[in-house]
Structure 1
Amino acid sequence: MKTIFWGLFLLLAQTTMAQEWSNPRIEGYGKIHYDKNLSFQPDVKKTYKLVFNIDNDAEKTGVNIRLWKIARELNLLKAAGVPDKNVQIAAVVHGKAIAVSLTDKAYEKRYQKKNPNTELVKALDNAGVKLYLCGQTVAGMKIEQDEMNPAWEVTLSALLTLPILESEGYLIVP
């Protein structure tokens, strides 16, 4: 009986150890499970230019799911050994997702709670992610300059920003 117990204990311990989750670049967001033994890995010598089209307000663990996926992308590339200087990521926000750009005060005024994305936006900004807002959505939602988190840059339109970034070599992450 003791042998069976210890056998099950060791099996459970190995399974738990094999499924470690981490956040090597963006602490607290976009957790990953990295396995260095997989044959398909990023080329650490390449530069990765990626753009995320963020147009909905779906959430994952309380924050915008697309912002969370940017954190996951950064964590995956870091774990794989891609140098930070070889990673260029942009986020283009428009439509329903525009609320991620609001200050806590403006968000609370509109939604009666603190903006759950504030800390993640700060972490992405600190990691060098280019944060763009659609000026057409900003105007349509009547968002004033003082209501926006200063980490975000307003562009003329997401309709122009996305193809401009593509023409600069960014790939859209689906």
Structure 2
Amino acid sequence: MIRSIPLFSFLIVGLLAIAPAAAQQPTGERLASGDGGDREAGLEHGKETRHQTAADEKVGRSGPLIYPVIANHGGVVHLPDAAQQPRTGTKLVVDLTGGGDPAQLNAGVEKLARFLNIYAGAGAKPAAAKIAVVFHGGATLAVLNEDAYTAKFKTASNPNLKLLRQLHDAGVELFVCGQALNGQGGAPDEVADFIDVAVSALTAIVNLQSDGYAYIPLAIATPKPAPAARATSASSADKSVDALNDRNR
């Protein structure tokens, strides 16, 4: 009995030493050659598919700009399935007060074109809307006729007139505050002939709201050019250097 114990131990040790070669195969190699490798490849393929799907969805969501009424201004995206579709019968009074660089198109006037295009073609179907605009504040003089505007601002033309004419021809009512016009050195006979002079912005807006128009404030301003940096003269710079040297002596 005593001799059988060493023999039994020897057999156990031998069995442990003779392990299958596959058990010593590196984990990475087993994954690459077996089911685990296929799983990793599948995960990578899944990631690529998700990324491609996201890219496709992004392309699908961004449609081209369209200009259903006002060409080349106020472009909109057609969203026939979106919530809160434009409604026929809507009435808007836009309180336009933003000014800016007189040599550029007033940014608020550009925005008006977008309002019109939204109701005309951004939704599932065109929606007839009434839009009235009241100019005052910084936007007052944007409505001057060509001669008055160029004389006042020393520009080649009034950059707003062409688009304002398009808006008028599309049915937008245009008013300018008579009080603001007078206060800024303008006169009723200097206003473009298709724009009406109101007694005041106050009366125009209140009257239109009483007629069921929804009030839309619009104070967006056209960026003005940055003022040129003042150059320091050579003599001033020399004096500053001399003063600094005197203090350091």
TM-score greater than 0.5 by the shorter chain: yes
CA distance in 2, matches of 1:73, 1:124: 10
Q: Which residue of 1 aligns with 2:188?
A: 145
C-alpha change, 1:105 and 1:21, in structure 2 (3 Å) is: same
Higher normalized helix content (fraction of residues) = 2
Q: Which residue of 1 aligns with 2:84?
A: 40
Larger Rg: 2
Q: In the comparison of the two structures, how many residue pairs are matched?
A: 160
Q: Which residue of 2 aligns with 1:5?
A: none
**How many angstroms does 1:17 deviate by?**
8.8
CA distance in 2, matches of 1:121, 1:23: 16
CA distance in 2, matches of 1:36, 1:42: 10
Q: Which residue of 1 aligns with 2:67?
A: 23
1:105 aligns with 2:105: no
1:32-61 Cα shifts (integer Å, max 9, x gaps):
112222233123xx30110100112147xx
Q: Which structure ranks higher in relative contact order (CA pairs < 8 Å, sequence separation ≥ 6)?
A: 1
Q: TM-score, normalised by structure 1?
A: 0.82
**Is this contact kept in 2: 1:50–1:173, CA < 8 A?**
yes
**How many angstroms does 1:147 deviate by?**
2.0
* Amino acid of the structure 1 residue aligned with 2:70: I
Q: Which residue among 106, 114, 121 is the counterpart of 1:72?
A: 114
Alignment of 1:71-90 (within 5 A): 71-79=113-121, 80=123, 81-83=125-127, 86-90=128-132
Long gaps (5+) in structure 1: 1-7
**How many angstroms does 1:73 deviate by?**
1.0
Q: Which residue among 191, 197, 201 is the counterpart of 1:154?
A: 197
Give the CA RMSD over aligned residues.
2.3
Q: Residue 99 of structure 1 aligns to a residue in which SS? A: helix
Identity %: 30
**How many angstroms does 1:29 deviate by?**
1.1
Instruction: Extract structure 1 runs of 4+ deviating beyond 4 A.
Output: none
1:91 aligns with 2:133: yes
Q: TM-score, normalised by structure 2?
A: 0.58
CA distance in 1, matches of 2:213, 2:194: 20
* Amino acid of the structure 1 residue aligned with 2:172: V
**How many angstroms does 1:93 deviate by?**
0.5
**Is this contact kept in 2: 1:50–1:170, CA < 8 A?**
yes
